[in-house]
Structure 1
Amino acid sequence: MTVNDVTAKLSAIYDPEIPVNIWDLGLIYDVQLIGAEAYITMTLTTASCPAAAFLPEEVRAAVQELPGMQAVHVEVTYEPRWTNARMSAEARTQLGF
């Protein structure tokens, strides 16, 4: 299992209010693998984002599906604050930025 395997899982998760996956939106700040455990630091588009109630758990559950994954730790942070500058070029084009 590699970081690319994890990011592939993350690329299949979409923000419910924006038709772009959370990886291309730039909501994932860091992915680390230590043994068979993943440590993911992420943010949300705003601190009052309605997805805060379920998106971190969706991230955890998706990555946990990887063969051999023993544990997934998801930390939500708002520092630095998310801006559309974190989006991939493809996401910016798709959303008209």
Structure 2
Amino acid sequence: MNMQEQLPTEAHGAEDELRQDIVTVLRTIYDPEIHVNILDLGLIYVLDIDPQGNVEIEMTLTAPACPVAGTFPSVVEARVAEVPGVQSVHVELVWEPPWSIDSMSEETRLELGLL
């Protein structure tokens, strides 16, 4: 299941509103090489938020040799930390499962001519 399938369609409480606010921010962070936001690109594997506003994100990159591998997770961490209600953020870079074109949202694949 990709991240897009896990997203709530509407907010029902404080935690859901915080999730939506974080999702909105993630959609403003773009992969520097493909120029698609990291959520629709399928780079976010896990977004967990506890009731206190502590956020855990597991993300990947399009390739292990990506030139931003050393810095991009901290960029994501800093941007999510700016969301009101977020108390702390931890971003873990993971390589399993490996990213593939199938990780992208269908809309993104269509926009990029991959469908």
- Among candidates 39, 43, 62, match of residue 45 of structure 1: 62
Task: Give the match's secondary structure for 1:24.
Answer: coil
TM-score, normalised on structure 1?
Answer: 0.94
Structure 1 counterpart of 2:93: 76
Task: Give the match's secondary structure for 1:5.
Answer: helix
**Contact 1:15–1:51 (CA<8 Å) still a contact in 2?**
no
- Among candidates 14, 19, 30, match of residue 35 of structure 2: 19
Q: Deviations over 1:59-78 (max 9, x none)?
A: 10110001121110000100
- Once the two structures are TM-superposed, the CA of residue 53 in structure 1 deviates from its matched residue by 2.1
5+ unaligned residues in a row in structure 2: which ranges? 1-16
Q: Deviations over 1:7-36 (max 9, x none)?
A: 111110000000210000000001010122
Could you list the runs of 4 or more consecutive aligned residues of structure 1 that deviate by over 4 angstroms after TM superposition? none
CA RMSD of aligned residues (A): 1.0
TM-score, normalised on structure 2?
Answer: 0.80
Give the AA of the match of 1:68. G
Task: Name the count of aligned residue pairs.
Answer: 97
